[in-house]
A and B are shown apart, each in its own frame.
Chain A
Amino acid sequence: MLPMTTMYFSASVKKLTLLCIILVGMITGGIVSVLASDPPDDTKQTSVAVRIPLVEGVLPWDDPMSAVWNEAKVSEFNLAPQVHWQDRVQEVTVMSVKVRGLHDGEKVAVLLEYKDPSNDQADAAALEFMVGDKKAHFAHGQEMLQVEGGPVNIWYWKNEAGKGIDMSAKGFKTLRTQDQQDVSAKGIWQDGTWRVVFSRSLQTNDEHDAQIDLGEWSSIAFAFWDGKLEGDVPKEKGSQKSVSSWFPMRAEPPPDNSVYGYVALGLALAVAFELVFVRKLKKGLSA
């Protein structure tokens, strides 16, 4: 005599088998994917990127001390003395920088916060970006031997100038101030710490500028000069500065809620599948 289940199954055995296999597979797959998720990589610094969220309300584009900056994510980057090309420097004052960014959909503001024991006229800071689709070397877009590189856009602030300067370079000794100035900057020194805010429209109509597309990852690099006078000359000037190489940067897009719609759809489909499935099972078993 055949087992009971065979009698139950004989009615619509093909359909039921298929359905059972699908369901068992889906449940097992789901459970495994939950259990097998990779743990977060602890070796990576959490601050490896500059994330620039969208801020509601007024962007503190010219106020480095604004409380609105507390809404921004802080990332800290180590810096190095510029030892990549001549003239090198072996010791520098600024060894790390805290970076925050905010945008309002039109304009972006980036706040640099770093320690410098003295407030000097020649103190300076700069941000660097790649321009266009070609990769540019972090050292002023210098020539690469096997890769065709692009230019860089540099946003420069110097204490004595008290404003931002929009610059371009493609290779050493090509640094120049752009004809069209789009960058603002303001620095405030307090208790041995500079807070310098740079700002600009996310998009400009200048082909020499880096354009910041919402949601797209791009690259950013930093440079700092301690202008403390040693004799008659600043301690750090020109290529003698603190630098970083490229780090990832992204101006975050407005929140996308469509994902919740898809989740609801997925839930509804799963429930509908269950209802049909259980009905078929009951039919099959009672047949």
Chain B
Amino acid sequence: MKGPLFNSAIILTGMYLALKFILPLLTAPLPSMLISLYMLLTLSALMIFYTMSGTSLDEFMGPIARFLSGENQVGIAKPARLLVLVVFPLLVGWQTYTKLAPSDQPPAENRTIHPAPPGEFVGLANPYPKTPENIMMGKGLYAAYCSPCHGANFDGKGPAAPGFNPPPANFADPGTIAQLQESYLFWRIKKGGVGLPVEGMPWKSAMPRWEKELPDEFIWKIIMGEYDGAHQSPRTWEEEE
């Protein structure tokens, strides 16, 4: 069975197993589109390699041509050829069906979770010193105004959270406020969900526009309380330089 065709089959199978099962052990699983693309590239490379000379082409294509033609076939090769000839049109049919069958899934929504803030909210510093009193006041305000959705434990699991889509942010997650500056939080709390740009899908957000109800001082102190309670630190300019 050894030969270019056998080697190609081994390489393709190995590539597929590596992409599908081994790579996900090290990183996130690859989407099917990417696996298909890598397999196509591998196949193209093999084709290019085996069509470089007449000899290698014949070694590669000869067995395929003889197998598919059905000439002088005996034993297992006969039903195997029949199987290939039956499976190929079925694959074409299956592909046609999956590409054309109407989906009953809603269109995917690519909501940007942290869209860019308006210019006037970039780089603002918290004007209140981080004293224990200010932090404590911030935590008290947080408990009163924010915890119903964002949770007493700053984990986004407040009693009102399950009803909202998108869900309230989990501040304890290092992917939320730890990635943001205080001025960003100031914008999001002050202007609320309705202040988001179109990519943030403001029409779905239940985040209140707190500027209607709370003075700036309260918002800055809530931010302090949030970071302290969630055991996170704001992203600062110094870190980026």
Contact = CB atoms under 8 A, between A and B. Distances in A.
Interface in A140-186: 142-147, 149
A30 B39 contact: no
Contacts of A16: 61, 65
Contacts of B12: 28
Contacts of A244: 163-165
B127 interface: no
A135 interface: yes
A233 interface: no
Interface in A93-135: 95, 130, 135
B65 A245 contact: no
Given A5-B59, A29-B40, A80 B93 contact: no
Contacts of A213: none
B164 A17 contact: no
Contacts of A138: 203-204, 206
B125 interface: no
A278 B39 contact: no
Contact of A20 (B65, B100, B197): B65
B92 A266 contact: yes
A146 B196 contact: yes
B106 interface: yes
A17 B57 CA distance: 8
Nearest to B35: A36
Interface residues of A, number: 86
Interface string B158-190: 011111111000000000000000000000000
Contact of A259 (B20, B97, B104, B149): B97
B96 interface: yes
Residue among B20, B39, B165 having the largest count of chain A Cβ atoms under 10 Å: B165
Contacts of B160: 80-81, 83, 90
Contact of B61 (A5, A86, A248): A5
A80 B150 CA distance: 13
Interface of B: 12, 16, 20, 31-32, 35-36, 39-40, 43, 47, 51, 54-55, 57-59, 61-62, 64-66, 68-71, 84-85, 87-97, 100-102, 104-107, 118, 148-149, 159-166, 191, 193-198, 201-208, 213
Interface of A: 2-6, 8-9, 13, 16-17, 20-21, 23-38, 48-49, 51, 77-81, 83-86, 90-91, 95, 130, 135-139, 142-147, 149, 217, 242-248, 250, 252-253, 256, 259, 262-267, 269-271, 274, 277-278, 281-282, 284-286
23 contacts: A2-B55, A3-B62, A8-B62, A9-B62, A21-B47, A27-B91, A28-B39, A29-B40, A35-B16, A38-B31, A78-B163, A90-B160, A137-B193, A144-B194, A144-B202, A146-B197, A246-B204, A247-B165, A264-B93, A267-B89, A274-B89, A282-B69, A285-B69
